[in-house]
Structure 1
Amino acid sequence: MFMLNNGGAQATASQPDTCKTTTAAGPVPLPYPNIADSSMADPGGLVNEVLVAAMPAMNQMSKVTQSSGDEAGDQGGLISGVNVGEMAFSSGSTKVMVGGKPAVMVSSQTLQNGTPSNTIGVFNLGSQETVEVMQ
C-alpha cells in the first residue's frame, strides 16, 4: 500500500457519521458522510525529516485537524459532540517506522470526527504512487 504524506490523501468514514441536526421538530440524529484530507494535517504531527514524493511523511501519531461532510449536523456527533472534528489513526505499519512511530498508508484505519471518535474510517485514496509500505 502507498505510504501517506500530507499531499491530499483522503480517508472516508466506513460507517455513517451520525450527528444531531436541528429540524422544525427539534434535534434529530441523521447520518452524514465524513471525509478527512491529509493536506489538513496538523503540521506538528508531520515527519518533516522524511519526505515522500517531496511532501512530509505521516505516522500513526499524525492527525488531520478537521474533517468534512457533516457540516449540517450542527449540534454535533452523537458520541463526540462535534462536527468537522479531527481524524486520528488507529492503525499503522507493523514493520516500518517513520519518526519513531508506525508509518501509515492507504488502508490505515482511522477514528473520525473528534475525540472520542464519532465514526471509523479508512484511507482509501493516496496522494502519491512512488513509496510503498507492504506491512
Structure 2
Amino acid sequence: MPLTIRVNGTSLTLVHKFSIGISTATIPDVCKTPSPGGPVPVPYPNIANSITLSSGTSTVKGDKAMAANKGSKFAISNGDNAGVAGGVKSSTFMKEATWILYSFDVKMDGKNTARLTDKMFHNSENAANLGGVAQQPLIAALGDAALAQELCEAACQALKDKEAADAKLPPGKASTDQYQRRMRDIIDPKVAGVRGGRPGLLTEVSQSNVGKLIGKYGKDVSSSLGKARWDIILLEAGVAVGKKALTLADVKHIVEVKFPNDSPTDNQDILRKTHPETDKKLTEMKVRKKGAKDAKDADCLCT
C-alpha cells in the first residue's frame, strides 16, 4: 500500500498495519534454549512485521488502516522460535515488539504517533531494534522485506563506520575510504580470501555496454573500457555460481547503492538507456541519514 502520510517532516512516514513495515532487532534476542545439559542462553535474531500491528488507532486511520501510536505493538515476532525456555530478561519468546520512540508532538487518537525509523523493543523488551523500521519502496522493488532490511542495515553501518573513520583523519587529509567497500565487507565478506560464498548474492559485478556480464562471473574477459559495475547482483532461484558463466537471464535484481554524493557513472547511464532488460532489473537504493536535506526520497533512512 502506498505511504502517503508523513510525520515531522518529509522523510518520516507513518507506520500502519499495511505499511509493509519490518523491524529487525539490532541487539540479539538471547533466549534460554533446551540442550542435553539443560537450558543454555543462545543469541537469536528477532523480526516483527507491521501487518501484526495491534492496539493501534481505532477512530483515526492512516492510509485507510490502523495506525501505530504509543501503546501499540507488533503482536508477534519471529526468529527466536527455538528459544522456548524464554528470554533471559523477559522469559518469553516470539512475543511483541513495542515502541521506544515516537513523535512527541503529533498524535492520533490522543496518543503519540509512531514513524519510520522509530526504535522498538522486541520480544517483551528482551531485545531491541535501534535502527528503526524499514518500509521503503525498496521492499516492494525487491519483493523481500527481510533482504531489504538487511541491505539497509548494512548500508547504514557502512555509512556510520566511514564517517567515524573520516573524523579521525588529520586536518586537511582527504579520505580514500569508500562506503561501498565497507558495505561489501558486511554482506559479502571474504572467506579464505575469496568473496561470493553467499548463495544468490554477488557484489561488484561488471557488465559490458552491450549487456553481457563480464569478468569473473561472465563469459567475456573484462576490460577497462565500455563496462558498468554494479554493487549487488541477486540471482534467480537455483542459479549456482561457478557451474557456468552467468548471463543476464540468471539475474533477478541489480541493486545499485547510492550513498551521499554518489551519482551514476557514464557507463551505467548508457546501459540503462540502451539496454532495456538491464534497466528493468535495476533498483537504485538511495541511502541517507535522517534529517539530511535530500532524505525525502531515500530508500534507506539511517538514524
Give the TM-score normalised by the residue count of structure 1. Answer: 0.84
Q: CA deviation at 1:127?
A: 7.1
Q: CA deviation at 1:15?
A: 0.4
SS at match of 1:106: coil
Is 1:23 matched with 2:31? no
2:24 match: 12
- The match for 2:116 among 93, 106, 109 is 106
Higher helix share: 2
The answer to which of 118-127 and 25-34 deviates more is 118-127
Q: Name structure 1 gaps, 5 residues minimum.
A: none
Q: CA deviation at 1:12?
A: 1.1
1:10 partner amino acid: I
- The match for 1:126 among 130, 135, 147 is 135
Question: 1-side partners of 2:76 and 2:86: how far apart?
Answer: 13
1:55 partner amino acid: A
Give the TM-score normalised by the residue count of structure 2. Answer: 0.39
CA contact (8 A) 1:17 1:31 kept: yes
- The match for 1:77 among 87, 90, 93 is 87
SS at match of 1:39: helix
2:133 partner amino acid: N
Higher strand share: 1
2:60 partner amino acid: V
Larger radius of gyration: 2
Bigger relative contact order, structure 1 or 2 (CA pairs below 8 A, ≥6 apart): 1
1:22 partner amino acid: P
CA contact (8 A) 1:4 1:127 kept: no
The answer to which of 45-54 and 87-96 deviates more is 45-54
CA contact (8 A) 1:34 1:70 kept: yes
CA shift digits 1:66-108 (9 cap, x unpaired): 2111001111100000100111111100221111111101111
Question: How many residues are aligned here?
Answer: 125
Give me the identity figure in percent: 30
4+ runs of 1 displaced by more than 6 Å? Answer: none
Question: 2-side partners of 1:74 and 1:93: how far apart?
Answer: 35
SS at match of 2:59: strand
Please tell me the root mean square deviation across aligned C-alpha atoms, in Å.
1.8
Q: Name structure 2 gaps, 5 residues minimum.
A: 1-11, 138-295, 297-303
Q: CA deviation at 1:50?
A: 2.4
Question: 2-side partners of 1:76 and 1:103: how far apart?
Answer: 30
CA shift digits 1:23-67 (9 cap, x unpaired): 22321111001111111122xx12133222221211011112221
SS at match of 2:51: helix
2:83 partner amino acid: G
2:39 partner amino acid: P
CA contact (8 A) 1:11 1:125 kept: yes
2:44 match: 32
